[in-house]
Amino acid sequence: MIPIKRKCLECALRLLGRRAHSRRELADKLSQRGFDTGQIALAIDECIRLNYLDDASFCDTVVRHQRRKGYGRARIAQLLNEKGVAKSHIDDCLVRYCDESAQYADCRALSQKKKQRYLGKGAPAFCRQKLFRFLTRRGFSSTIVQRVVAECISAEGHQGGQGDDQPGVAFSDVQDEDVIKP
């Protein structure tokens, strides 16, 4: 290897030594450091050959990490898409790790943590709205969020809809299109 190509590979290996990257992320970072596309392509090919760069395993790692942090399917898919992971890898990982029952369990656990923060601050409608918006921003589907919020609020002895002190979002008015999508 001539020195400039070696320098590009060494930079790529240093970056991969800190944390896993997708192909596009690594290419972008090497490009920012002034390497040309030919050098970058050679360095990436060598990293793949050495099994230091693998978009499928990167995708697995990111999905597991983001689920532990309390993010839903849509938010995780958006993040992976931003990092340049192929849609096929994203879909495979989401099927493995983010099925509906797992999403429901994650959403329910997160709502149990957050509901105490909202319950003492106003009417049940206020609590429902805050919880709904929070869980939706986290990337959970509106269908799952509706079920979880209804269960969460009714478990606290509050009845939704009629007689609430504050007007709010009707859950039937919120569609899956309102949720963050990749």
Q: Is pLDDT at 155 greater than 70 in this prediction? A: no
Mean pLDDT, residues 101-123: 84
Same domain, 172 and 130: yes
- Identify the domain boundary among 66, 98, 130: 98
Q: Is the pLDDT of residue 33 over 90?
A: yes
One domain, residues 152 and 125: yes
Number of domains the chain contains: 3
Does residue 83 sit in the same domain as residue 43?
A: no
> Looking at the predicted structure, is the pLDDT value of residue 82 above 60?
yes
Instruction: Say yes or no: 94 and 104 in one domain.
Output: no
Residue-number span of the structural domain to which 24 is assigned: 1-53
Selected residue with higher pLDDT from 53 and 126: 53
What pLDDT does 58 receive?
Answer: 96
118 versus 114: the higher-pLDDT residue is: 114
More confident residue, 164 or 73: 73
- Asked whether residue 122 falls in the same domain as residue 170, the answer is yes
Q: How confident is the model at residue 104 (pLDDT cuts 50, 70, 90)?
A: very high
Q: Are residues 111 and 149 in the same domain?
A: yes
CATH number at residue 32: 1.10.10
Mean pLDDT, to the nearest integer, of 69-93? 95
User: Which pLDDT score, from 0 to 100, does residue 180 have?
Assistant: 54
* Average pLDDT value for residue range 27-32: 96
Q: Which of 68, 98, 128 corresponds to the end of one domain?
A: 98
What confidence score (pLDDT) does residue 127 get?
82
For the stretch 9-26, pLDDT in tens is 999 999 999 999 999 999
* Shared domain check, 104 and 174: yes
Which H, E and C letters describe the chain, residue by residue? CCHHHHHHHHHHHHHHHHCCCCHHHHHHHHHHCCCCHHHHHHHHHHHHHCCCCCHHHHHHHHHHHHHHCCCCHHHHHHHHHHCCCCHHHHHHHHHHHCCHHHHHHHHHHHHHHHHHHHHCCCCHHHHHHHHHHHHHHCCCCHHHHHHHHHHHHHHCCCCCCCCCCCCCCCHHHCCHHHCCCC
Same domain, 68 and 130: no
Model pTM score = 0.76
- Judgement on whether residues 114 and 165 belong to the same structural domain of the protein: yes
